[in-house]
Structure formats: structure tokens, C-alpha cells
Amino acid sequence: MTDHYPVAVLVSGNGSNLQAILDAAEAPGYGAEVAVVISDRPDVKALDRAEAAGVPAAVVDWSMMSDRDTFTAAVCDVAEAHGARALVLAGFMRVLGPSAIARFPDRILNIHPALLPSFPGLEAVGKAVAHGVKVSGVTVHFVDEEVDHGPIIAQEIVPVLPDDTEDTLHARIQEIEHDVYPRVLDALARGRLRIDGRVVRWEEA
């Protein structure tokens, strides 16, 4: 058994990665539990998923905030109020300010639909297809001060097929995301991830 490891999952849209984590957390012995889902906007499917799972949800509305630091503080306040020990960014479309890293040091995860450091930023899947790469994939990494840049925890390869469009490739990438992200979160919750400079080492379970 692991210690109690509550997390906040941050979302902006569909929330299929949130759903994968919620489903994984149903299994006996899973390391983490979703204490709260936080969205930067109202009326997104991810909030419906939280409600269906009986998990608290909150909207910290980006459009109502004066600046990034105020927004970041509000998100961290909500997460801490629910006892979260880590932030899990799952399709979250905002960049958190540095205070988030100070409040959750080495405890913010992000998932990106490409093999970083290739294709950071927005529209990564479309850029990979347009570039003509033959393989792309999924990266889960710790968040640092730069976008899509922190130490890489896990990567999985997804081949790019000759007729792939952004949509078809993204669909296959998402299937992999839904497997890898819950596994990484479980490892974080069990204290298995050790950061050694830029290198993340997986320790024995």
C-alpha cells in the first residue's frame, strides 16, 4: 500500500486523460486519488467527467483573472485546499507562473502529444504531420519554468502512417496517453521517480 496521495488534475477541454486517471484510480492499490479537478474555463466536458465520477471540481476562470500570477495563485490555493500533493496537467491550456513550481516542487506533471524536445507548444500533432516525421509519440514530463521543457519521465513511440492526418495520428497518440499517464502518476505517488539533473530515474517498486 502507498501513502494517501491526493492530486489535482488541471483541464481545459475534453478530459480523456482525466478519465483514464479516474478509471485507473478505481483499481484497488492504485497509488493516487483525484482530490479535485480544476478547469480554467466553464462548460467543458472534463467537468462533466469529474461530476460523473463524484470528484470535486472547480473553475478558476482565466478570463476573470487580472494576470498569470493571480491565476496561478488561485489554482494552487484550490489544489492545496483539497489536500493535493501534486498537480497533473491533462490538456490544460494555460501556462502556470513560477509560484506553482515553488509551491509544488518536482510535483507538477504534464503530458504532451509529441516526442519532446521535438514539437513543443501548441498544435504539436499537426506540426509533426506537416514536418513529415515517421515517428512521433507521447511525452510525460515534470514541469519547469519553460513550456514543454522539464525533465522527461516517460516517452512512447507512435509511428506516423503515410495517410495520417492530424486527427488520425492524434487519435492513436491519445490511446497511448491513456495508458502511460496513469502509470506515471502511480509511480510519482509511490515515490518511484527520482530526478537526477535532467534525467528522471525510475526506482524499483
Residues that bind ligand GRF (CB under 6 A): 13-17, 90-91, 111-113, 174, 177
Does the active-site annotation cover 112?
A: yes
Minimal distance, residue 13 CB to ligand GRF, in Å: 4
User: Taking the complex as a whole, how short is the minimal distance between the CB of residue 124 and ligand GRF, in angstroms?
Assistant: 8
Least distance in angstroms from the C-beta of 46 to ligand GRF: 6
Q: What CA–CA distance (Å, rounded) separates 33 from 39?
A: 17
Closer of 111 and 200 to ligand GRF (Cβ): 111
Residue 80 or residue 154: which is nearer to ligand GRF going by CB? 154
Question: Which of the following is catalytic: 4, 82, 112, 149?
Answer: 112
Q: Which residue is nearest to ligand GRF (CB)?
A: 91
Nearer to ligand GRF, 83 or 127 (CB): 127
| CA-closest candidate to residue 84, choices 75, 94, 72 | 75
Nearer Cβ to ligand GRF (26/196): 26
Q: How far is the CB of 94 from ligand GRF (least distance, A)?
A: 12
Residues sharing a CB contact under 8 Å with residue 21, sequence separation 6 or more, in sequence order? 9, 32, 34, 88, 90, 181, 182, 185
Residue 35 C-alpha cell reads as: 482530490
What are the DSSP E strand ranges found in the chain? 6-11, 33-39, 57-59, 86-89, 108-112, 135-142, 152-159, 193-196, 199-202
Cis peptide before 42 (omega within 30 of 0): no
Rounded Cα gap, residues 55 and 21, in angstroms? 12
Active site residues: 112
